[in-house]
Amino acid sequence: MRARNPNDDIGWAELDTGACALALEHAQPDDAASAQPVGRFVGVSLQVADIEATYRASVERGVRFDARPQRQAWGGTLAHLRDPDGNVLTLLESRA
């Protein structure tokens, strides 16, 4: 695997696995939410080609989202979803 887009300032890195990209985000030790082991933001992003289509299909299957996909200032689009335990995962569409 090779790292791409590392950013030490915000604690971010993506690992290219060949089949997919695994994005990692540093949990801040002074963040009270990081101290809770279940039902929190876990820093896992799943990159998809079409976030709107993935969002709609997921909602139809009963997946809970915190909000609709939102365009970010850096150009990508994010949507936070909850797994069955309440952990928050991220769908990510990043247009290059």
25-76 residue pLDDT tens = 776 667 776 666 666 667 788 889 999 999 999 999 999 999 999 999 989 9
The pLDDT of residue 2 is 56
Q: How far, rounded to the nearest angstrom, does the alpha carbon of residue 50 sit from its chain's CA centroid?
A: 14
Residue span of the structural domain in which 58 resides: 2-93
Give yes or no for residue 8 having a pLDDT over 70: yes
Counted domains in the chain: 1
The pLDDT of residue 1 is 44
Work out whether the CA dihedral 51, 54, 59, 65 comes out positive or negative.
Answer: negative
CATH code of the domain covering residue 74? 3.30.720.110
pLDDT band at 12 (very low <50, low <70, confident <90, very high): confident
- Whole-number Å distance between alpha carbons of 6 and 9: 9
| Nearest alpha carbon to residue 46 among 27, 63, 62 | 63
Beta bridge partners of 46: 91
Which residue bears the tokens 């809970």?
64
| Nearest alpha carbon to residue 64 among 44, 31, 32, 91 | 91
